[in-house]
């Protein structure tokens, strides 16, 4: 399938509930499940990244992405 091309295989040991189960949850249960899934994914990324020359970061939400980028100080106005 990916003959000769580099690829990344990431195994996450976390059982994700079905959509029906997710829709049956209240918002707080869905949030807890989301956090558990994110933590499992982050744990797998960190385990696979050990010894890697590529620095990987994990952003919990999209709004904090700007603060994690190297050029954020140039694009984000200073808070006074």
Quickly list H helices, the chain. 19-24, 27-49, 65-68, 72-75
Task: Look up tokens 């982050």; give the residue.
Answer: 42
Note the pLDDT tens digit of each residue in 28-80.
999 999 999 999 888 888 777 665 556 666 666 666 555 555 554 455 555 65
Most confident stretch, 1-5, 22-26, 45-49, 64-68:
22-26
Residue 75 backbone class (left: φ over 0; alpha: ψ -120 to 50; beta: rest): alpha
For residue 31, the model assigns a pLDDT of 95
């Amino acid at each position: 399938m990916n003959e000769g091309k580099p690829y990344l295989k990431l195994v996450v040991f976390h059982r994700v509930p079905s959509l029906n189960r997710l829709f049956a949850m209240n918002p707080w249960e869905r949030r807890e499940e989301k956090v558990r899934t994110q933590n499992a994914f982050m744990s797998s990324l960190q385990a696979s990244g050990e010894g890697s020359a590529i620095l990987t970061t994990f952003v919990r939400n999209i709004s904090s992405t700007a603060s994690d980028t190297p050029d954020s100080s140039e694009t984000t106005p200073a808070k006074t």
